[in-house]
Amino acid sequence: MEEAHLKRLLALFLLMLLVTHPGAQGRRSDVPKNTAENCPYCFGDAALMKASGIASHGGFDFAKTNTKGVDGLIPSLDIHWIESAHFRIGFALAPYKPKQDERKKIRAELTELSMVLEEVNPKAKVLDPWLRLHIYAMRMEAVWERWLAIMQVKVEDFPEEGSQWVLGTEYWGEGPYVGQADKYEILVLPNAEHQVAFMRDQYGLSHSVTQRWNILDRGAMTITTNIVENDLRLDAALHGHLAFNVSINMLDGYKNYSYDTPRWISEGLGHFMERELNPRYNSFDSSEGFGGIRKNKANWNAPVRKLVQSGRAPRLAEMVGLRTYAEFELDHHYTCWSMTTFMITEMPEKYACLNGGIHGIKGPDGQPDGSNMREKHRKMFQECFGMSYAQFDTAWRQWVTSL
């Protein structure tokens, strides 16, 4: 009798522990996960969030549902959410200990954050999910600013939300996010299994590699990735990979996503933005059914110079003709990066002119007109650069050999 009584007491104690333990409560389906108030840096405080450029820690539209819907779709994950001025980000990664060669960069970022969020320790040796989330919001806003500078545009150039374009006037898109109506979105997951589950539910796809998608009804461009399949375990690799994909999404969304940007331009800009951050990690787009290229090589100048000196370097006309990522060989990636770097560093106004001219094209009926893009590209290139493709090839090859 006494033994049975002790067993009942023990069971009652274990039940009370399960109910009161914070970790156990966090796993209950009826308790909201990772709400703003739980952030140990901004505490969901409106003034602190505003000062650090944060609009929300969740409760916003995302993909074809919203943050609550994604949480419910992958209940095994603790997804931390953040919304900045131009981005909505979901992060489901474990704490991260920066590697030796990452510490200087991350300490500088933490120092910048600590100027607004006093609880941030610039010397933190481990980045918990909340802290990493704040870092990535800051990083993506930096990508936004760099992209605007390259395209030589300002936020004020784009229409306000809900405004109507008038036929006969210059077209700048459907909203304030470089022409898109809604913010740019990013979801970072731990592995391919989680990504496939999300992609199947939202888009009917089973891709485990990084995917960019256009949510048409909201005018939002999204990125979904996971760190295992895409080899992004190192923070420096993940940072560059997101910069690569965000810059391409922004380029496609420039003056509203109505047709595809010529592949050589989008891939070239993606490479430029990623390698500007860290040339050791490189992303390569691929088409469905094509495995793509995976090659991390810091020095791309040497192989480009070798291509030029051997006479095997692709011409600009060839680059313009590439329609799918399956057509890209490694030499094409090297070349589009080098040509883009040449344009941005030596002829920035002309590069901005070209991109401004080939985006947001409208036909006489006011409908988007991306037809016959190769000819449109050729005419705009002549107008902006004042040279033919052959003349550009000569100038570019001379620049490559002078490096």
Beta bridge partners, 188, equal 91, 225
Residue 394 lies in a domain: yes
For the entire predicted model, the pTM comes to 0.90
Q: Show which of 257, 279, 306 is a domain's final residue.
A: 257
Cα–Cα dist 229/245, whole Å:
16
Residue 213 lies in a domain: yes
Residues 382 and 310 reside in one and the same domain = yes
Residues 251 and 294 reside in one and the same domain = no
In this structure, are strands 54-56 and 184-189 parallel, antiparallel, or unpaired?
unpaired
Q: Show which of 235, 257, 279 is a domain's final residue.
A: 257
At residue 296, the pLDDT reads 74
Residues 240 and 336 reside in one and the same domain = no
Range of the domain at 208: 32-257
The gap from C-alpha 57 to its chain's centroid, in whole angstroms, comes to 18
Q: Show which of 257, 281, 312 is a domain's final residue.
A: 257
Instruction: Say if residues 325 and 287 touch (Cβ distance below 8 Å).
Output: yes
At residue 341, the pLDDT reads 98
Residue 110 lies in a domain: yes
Question: In which residue are the tokens 């600590």 written?
Answer: 114
Structure tokens belonging to residue 141: 């806003």
Residues 213 and 275 reside in one and the same domain = no
Residue 252 lies in a domain: yes
At residue 175, the pLDDT reads 97
Residue 94: CA count within 13 A, CB half-sphere: 7
Instruction: Say if residues 221 and 214 touch (Cβ distance below 8 Å).
Output: yes
What tens-digit pLDDT sequence spans the chain (403 residues)?
Answer: 444 343 333 433 333 333 333 333 333 333 346 788 899 999 999 999 999 999 999 999 999 999 999 999 999 999 999 999 999 999 999 999 999 999 999 999 999 999 999 999 999 999 999 999 999 999 999 999 999 999 999 999 999 988 999 998 999 999 999 999 999 999 999 999 999 999 999 999 998 999 999 999 999 999 999 999 999 999 999 999 999 999 999 999 999 999 999 999 999 999 999 999 999 999 999 865 455 677 778 999 999 999 999 999 999 999 999 999 999 999 999 999 999 999 999 999 999 999 999 999 999 999 999 999 999 999 999 999 999 999 999 999 999 999 9
Residues 217 and 294 reside in one and the same domain = no
Query: Structurally, how many domains does the chain consist of?
Result: 2
At residue 55, the pLDDT reads 96
Residues 236 and 383 reside in one and the same domain = no
Instruction: Say if residues 88 and 66 touch (Cβ distance below 8 Å).
Output: no
Q: Is 379 helix (H, G, I), strand (E, B) or coil?
A: helix
Residue 18 lies in a domain: no
Residues 197 and 56 reside in one and the same domain = yes
Residue 1 lies in a domain: no
Sheet of strand 184-189: strand arrangement: 54-56, 80-84, 87-91, 184-189, 220-226, 211-215
In this structure, are strands 211-215 and 220-226 parallel, antiparallel, or unpaired?
antiparallel
φ and ψ at 292, to 5 degrees?
80, -175
155 contacts: CB under 8 Å, gap ≥ 6: 148, 176
Residues 100 and 186 reside in one and the same domain = yes
Residue type, position 56, single letter: S
At residue 198, the pLDDT reads 96
Cα–Cα dist 152/172, whole Å:
14
Residues 347 and 396 reside in one and the same domain = yes
Structure tokens belonging to residue 399: 């620049």
Residue 15 lies in a domain: no
Residues 208 and 291 reside in one and the same domain = no
Residues 95 and 189 reside in one and the same domain = yes
Residue 344 lies in a domain: yes
Residues 394 and 348 reside in one and the same domain = yes
